[in-house]
Structure formats: C-alpha cells, structure tokens
A and B are shown apart, each in its own frame.
Chain A
Amino acid sequence: MSRASVALLATLSALGPLCGQDPSSIRLVPRPPRVEAAAGPAPALRTSFAEAEAAARERRVLLLLYFTAKW
C-alpha cells in the first residue's frame, strides 16, 4: 500500500465519526405500536361541571376542578 493510500485511509477513518454512523448500521424499521406505561388504573373523572357540582352537593364533599388542555 502506497504512502498516499495510507494517508487517504487515515483521513477517511477520521472523517467517519464526523459523518455520524457507519452507513451499514442504519436501517428503516416498522414503528412499533405505542404502549402506554401501566401506572395503575386511571381514576374516573367527570367532565361536566353541572354534573360534578350536583354530585358534590349531594355527597357533601369537596369538588376539585382540574383545568387542563390538550398539549
């Protein structure tokens, strides 16, 4: 191997990491279905203020309003 070839190989091997990955290691694979982490059962939340207010009055308990939005 000539000195020029060695220099070229050295340069290319130094450039490899700069370019990211070895192209042969890159693949496009089907996206797995999204699985929600199981952190216990979700509590039942009312979504109607009128119904929640009536239920709280009837049970004589605290009514917690949880204001939120989709993010």
Chain B
Amino acid sequence: MERVTFRAPEVVEAFAGIEVCKLDVDLAANREVGARHRRTVSLPTFVALAADGREVHQWSGALPPADLLRELATAAAAAAPPPAGADPVALGEFACARCDREALAPQLAALARRGAPGDAEQIERLLWLLCTTSFDQQRWPELALATQDYLARCPEGAHRDEAMVMQGRATFAVDGVLTEALRAHIDALLADGAVPFPGSSLLDRAKRFAGVQDEAAERALRAAASAWVERVNAAMQRLARLGPPAVPALRRALLEGEGETMRHAATTLGWMRLPENVGFLRAQLERANTPAPRRAEVVRALAMHKDPACLPLFVAIARGDEPPRVRTEAVEGIRDLCHLGDGTTDPAVAGALDAALAHRDLRLRQWTLQAMFEVKAPLALGNLLEALDDRRTLFAEFRICGNAMWILGQQLGSLVQVDGEPAGTCTPAIAAFLERWYSANRHRLVWDADACHWAVRDGAAVQGK
C-alpha cells in the first residue's frame, strides 16, 4: 500500500485533505486503539473516524488507488452529521454512532409520539444499535446502560439473548463477575470452534483415487469445508473480541482439549495478545510432562504475542532436543521477533537456527530457512550447503534447496547467476558449483560485521566458476 497506492497522485491529494495515522498493531502503544476500533485480525485494516470521534466506516485489505478513493468517499459521506431538523431515525443513528445515550433519548421519544407504521421497529433497532456500537468500541459503562435500556424496553426483542450476553460483558468489565448468559455464550463459541473439519468418506476417497469421483459430492464437500472455515473463524474472532472473560475457558481448552479444540484455543489466545497470558503460557512450558502436540500449541500461542522477552526462551527451544513440531513453533517465534526489529545480529539466534537446520524435518527446515532471512550474523555455511541437496518441495515450485541457496547468497553478499541472470531455483548443477566454490574459499572467508556478510579475505571478488 505505502509503496504504490499511497504514492498515486490522486491518493496523495486525498490524504492532504484528511489526517492519516499509521498504527503498527505489534506496538504496545497501539494496543488500546486497536482493541477499540479494529474488528478483524486482517491486515491492513482501515478505520475512518469523523472529526467528532465517531467511527463512520471500516474496511480491510490492500486496495488499488481507485478503490481506496471510493472507500474514502463512502467514509466522507457517512461522516457528515444530519441537519438539525432531520428525521428522528437519522438523528438517532447519529447519536448511536457517538454512543450518546442522552442524545438518543429525545429521538426515541419523538418516534414513540409519532407512532407511524414501523416506528416501533425503529425504536428497537436504534436501542440495539446503541448496544452494538458500544460493544464494538468497548465502551463498557455505555454498554451497561444501553443493554439495560434494550432489555427493559424490548423484553421480547429479537436481540434479547445477545443483549444479555453483552450485558454480561459490561458486568465483567465493571466487577469481574461472569454472568450465566456470558458463560453459556463462551461455551457455545468454544463448541463451534471444536466442530471437526468435514472430511470426505472412504468411498469418496476411493472414487477420487479411481478417477470416478462424484462431481456433486465434491461440490458439496467444498461448500461444507467453506462453511466450516467461516463458522470456526467467526467463533474464534468473537471469542477474541470478548477478551478477558473468555480467557479461563480458552486456557482450559488449550490445556485439556484435543485436536481442533486445542489448536483453536491457542490461536484465539494468540490473537488476544493479553500480557497476562504470556506468563501463563511460559509457566506451562516449565511442565515437563506436557505432550509434544500441546507443547507445540503453547509455544505457537506464545509466539503470537511477539513479546521480545520471550526470545531467549524460543532460542533455547529451537536449539534444544524437543520434538521438531515444538522447535518449529519456537523458530516461527524467533522469525517474527527478529522481523519486528529489522533483523538480528544476535549470535545466539544464529546458533539456534544452525542447530535447527541440521534436523531433517521438512517443516522445521522450512521455517528455519524463513527465519534465517532475518539473520545478519554469521551462519554455519556447511549446514546451508548440505541443505542445497534437499530437493523436497515446500509449495508450488519452491523447494528447501532454493531457500537454502538464497540464504547462502545473502550470507556471502552475493547472487548466483546463470547465463547472466539471477538463479530463481537451485539445480543440482548450482549446488555442485556452490560446494566447489566453498571448498576452494572456505579458509579465506571472514565475517564482515559492517556489511553483515562473509567476505573472501584477500579482497578478491566472490565470483567464480
């Protein structure tokens, strides 16, 4: 976005007429504004606020200039306040957008007095809109009053159950009590997240193997899989939005649940990024009897917090003798933390990744090489050369050996060229060439700390045949 869309002349001009604030969600300073205004874990997310602080529009995803301008126009239209003599519904919506219960009251009264067809429904809609806006913006005292109003005036309303859940959230914020309605809601969301992925039957798989699969059955399975993803994601996002009241249940699911339950709990705790969960997760890793799949999920959840204080722990796990799946999650944590700091020159990180690359596990190697992109300290070139012979596929045409070639090139401050063009993939011929080059030059290599790569000691160019 910043390199292309934001630099388009029409976008530069549009930005000059507004204020734009870039907020890195990984910075602690931006956590509160993120919790208040960001509804999704997707990035980038844009939220437009009117000058009076009202949230008027929100969207996610990178857009080309024309689409970005269209979203800005929508935001500008929504930001304009209604004229003083506008319909009570418009004035009521305006009050809801500001979570202004006092300003909403006279509009509700006006609608009640008018009593036109549909006005009773509008009253309920506006009362509910105040609830959802207060909830979305995490304005707990306002939410407590809004849900109280809704339940009092619409005891049989369409959103009664949801209002009770929201009221429970406001109650928890005020006095830490988990209401029965909120507890049941959290349990229902956890159950949604635990639904197993819809798999195909043995017969379907046999048919597919034989090339006589039933198209209709395949379509139905794809639709069921999409619905599952949507349902599970929605449940996890709602749990993450609930925040602290959902934490005890999620911790239980992580420590006692199996399969999807455990994995989704880890993801949701990771999305929440609550500082109090860091200590809890670290404490679980001190227990020696936790089975590897659960330890891996605990490390994954911890890594998602991107807490720099966890780096030494991840380094110790990555270089230790834990099962590969646990080490892989620690390596991902190292990668993310190093990326936050524009790479690392820490030799302990380099050493841990060297040790991890020596393992043959495919996923551990894959993520170790990803993490090595962030390393500006000397890596063990012998390990990388050995990985040049690992032609296992990662995805599409990308292989372990290709990534190893890139890291090796980075470590040497060089590029591999074939016929004058940068090599995109590592062939056996390239691997053999690099092994020969290394054998001929290994004793003359010295680490250049300023350039952050190895250099040939006598100053000769690194090129060779």
In angstroms, Cα B415 to Cα A71, docked, is: 23
A34 CB, min distance to chain B CBs, angstroms: 12
Tell me which of B171-179, B285-293, B430-438 binds A: B430-438
In angstroms, Cα B72 to Cα A43, docked, is: 16
Binary contact track B13-25/A, C-beta < 8 Å → 1, others 0: 0011111111111
Say yes or no for A55: interface residue by CB 8 A criterion: yes
In angstroms, Cα B30 to Cα A63, docked, is: 16
The A-contacting residues of B in range 414-465, CB under 8 angstroms, are 414-419, 423, 427-430, 432-434, 437, 461-465
Contacts of A21 in B (CB 8 A): 418-419, 427, 429-430
Contacts of B412 in A (CB 8 A): 28
Say yes or no for B248: interface residue by CB 8 A criterion: no
Say yes or no for B53: interface residue by CB 8 A criterion: yes
Number of interface residues of B (CB under 8 A): 69
Tell me which of A20, A51, A71 contacts B429 (CB under 8 A). Answer: A20
Tell me which of B4, B43, B419, B464 contacts A67 (CB under 8 A). Answer: B43
B427 close to A19 (CB less than 8 A) = yes
B35 CB, min distance to chain A CBs, angstroms: 11
B6 close to A42 (CB less than 8 A) = yes
Tell me which of B4, B44, B49, B429 contacts A62 (CB under 8 A). Answer: B49
Given contacts A30-B461, A63-B51, contact A49 B33 (CB under 8 A): yes
A67 close to B48 (CB less than 8 A) = no
Which residue of the partner chain B has the closest CB to A60? Answer: B51
Say yes or no for A59: interface residue by CB 8 A criterion: yes
B18 close to A47 (CB less than 8 A) = no
Apart from A30-B413, A37-B3, A43-B20, 15 more pairs, CB < 8 Å: A23-B432, A23-B465, A25-B419, A28-B412, A29-B461, A30-B463, A40-B7, A45-B6, A46-B22, A62-B49, A63-B21, A63-B49, A64-B46, A64-B75, A70-B24
Chain A interface (Cβ within 8 Å of chain B)? 19-32, 36-37, 39-43, 45-49, 51-53, 55-57, 59-71
Chain B interface (Cβ within 8 Å of chain A)? 1-4, 6-9, 11-12, 15-26, 30, 33-34, 37-38, 43-53, 56, 72, 75-76, 79, 339-340, 409-410, 412-419, 423, 427-430, 432-434, 437, 461-465
**27 residue pairs bridging A and B, Cβ less than 8 Å apart:** A21-B427, A21-B430, A23-B429, A26-B429, A27-B417, A28-B417, A28-B463, A30-B414, A37-B3, A42-B6, A43-B6, A47-B24, A51-B21, A56-B51, A57-B52, A59-B51, A62-B50, A62-B76, A63-B18, A63-B48, A64-B15, A64-B20, A66-B23, A68-B23, A68-B24, A68-B43, A71-B339
